[in-house]
Structure 1
Amino acid sequence: MTSIRERNQELILRAASEEFADKGFAATKTSDIAAKAGLPKPNVYYYFKSKENLYREVLESIIEPLLAASAPFNQPGRPAEVLKAYIRSKIRISRELPFASKVFASEIMHGAPHLSPEQTEQLNAQAKHNISCIQRWIDQGLMAKVDPHHLMFSIWAATQTYADFDWQISTVTGKGSLDDEDYEAAVRTITRLVIKGCDIDETVPSASEQVSNA
């Protein structure tokens, strides 16, 4: 059962995500966050001490899912399966955490001034690991000789756009908001572009699977 403290913290964090995404860190007022959360302003300081701490909590709320999205790269698997799972996870983050995603994107565009050295190291280490996996698949002949860095950057851009440019996407599609099929179509389309564009044979097992089946 959710406690009052947990409920209030969740309300404040959600409201802060929206305010920071809409106005940026400097222009956001704690009074606006409190109003959006439907709580007294002192509650913001009671639970989070300062606007800076609250902003860092919003960043933390998106960093953990971003790191978790890379889980498919952390275990043996076919390139097609790993990339599809990764793309699906990234689309899910854009759908379920759109405001926190926008805050994170803005933070990165401004040079990540509020990310801790530990968070920066975690994100960079995971990205380097993912890229090394792609390079290994290339070396094994499991996919085309594309630049693994730019492939990863392209996946980031393609999936992040569903958070950053949700208004434009809704306007172009003529919908107030995207539905399940829209997000499924996004996963299928991006996956197809990556798999076909990288000449990945979905029927060929990875090198580790070939060894285990020998």
Structure 2
Amino acid sequence: MLQRDRLEADILAEAVRTFAECGYEGASIAVIAENAGLSKQNLMYYFPTKQALYERVLDNVLDDWLERMASLADPAQSPQDLLRAYIQAKLRFSREQPLASRVYAMEVIGGAQVYGPQIRERVVPLLRRDIEVFEQWIAAGRIAPVNATHLLFAIWAMTQSYADFSAQMTLVLGRKELTRRDFDAAEETIIRMVLAAVAQT
């Protein structure tokens, strides 16, 4: 079992890199297998088709993302603390898993042709639940009235851009990669903006 888990992890790590660089259409199972140190036949024992491998990569991204979304519904914390932790977690994923984030972004930009049904089935119900939480906060006077849907869209865009559009950012900044200081500055700025949006006047 440990050997199987290790091989799957190696395959998935190479698949993430290849899909991020080449997209779904441009990625080759043979190349992924070779770079993972396996034969194509061996890889296909674990993932019988390219689509199965691609969907597993996207499943992993979405599992992480939805786990972070679910944290918004914790009644034991204040809305401000929950939003701060959510932004921090999303930025941490962009910093630690930029290639995985790019694979998901490329799928969505391409119209979610392969993964659209999973997004509808898994993201939409949780988004609706989180919107209900925001509405409860507003009704209880815990935050200012805000369009929760578009606030969450804005948080997604701001945090994920540090993975998906890091190439543009590094070009503008004149360096090879974003630093921890850049992510710390992004965190401070995004948190300040979001908490200002929900602050009571």
Name the TM-score, length of structure 1 as normaliser.
Answer: 0.84
User: SS where residue 65 of structure 1 aligns?
Assistant: helix
2: distance between equivalents of 1:6 and 1:166?
A: 31
Q: Deviations over 1:44-78 (max 9, x none)?
A: 21221111110011011101101111232121121
Q: In terms of mean alpha carbon deviation, does 107-116 or 43-52 score higher?
A: 107-116
Q: Residue 121 of structure 1 aligns to which amino acid in structure 2? A: E
Structure 2: gaps (5+ residues): none
1: distance between equivalents of 2:200 and 2:126?
A: 23
**Partner residue in 1 for 2:153:** 153
Deviation at 1:196?
1.6
**Partner residue in 2 for 1:107:** 107
1:55-70 → structure 2 map (5 Å cutoff): 55-70=54-69
2: distance between equivalents of 1:13 and 1:59?
A: 10
1: distance between equivalents of 2:185 and 2:116?
A: 36
2: distance between equivalents of 1:138 and 1:170?
A: 39
2: distance between equivalents of 1:186 and 1:200?
A: 23
Q: Residue 43 of structure 2 aligns to which amino acid in structure 1? A: V
Aligned residues: 200
Contact 2:70/2:126, CA 8 A, preserved across alignment: no
Name the TM-score, length of structure 2 as normaliser.
Answer: 0.89
Percentage identity across paired residues of the two chains: 38
Contact 2:90/2:160, CA 8 A, preserved across alignment: yes
Q: Residue 52 of structure 2 aligns to which amino acid in structure 1? A: N
1:167-206 → structure 2 map (5 Å cutoff): 167-200=167-200
2: distance between equivalents of 1:70 and 1:150?
A: 15
Structure 1: gaps (5+ residues): 202-214
1: distance between equivalents of 2:175 and 2:5?
A: 34
**Partner residue in 2 for 1:9:** 8
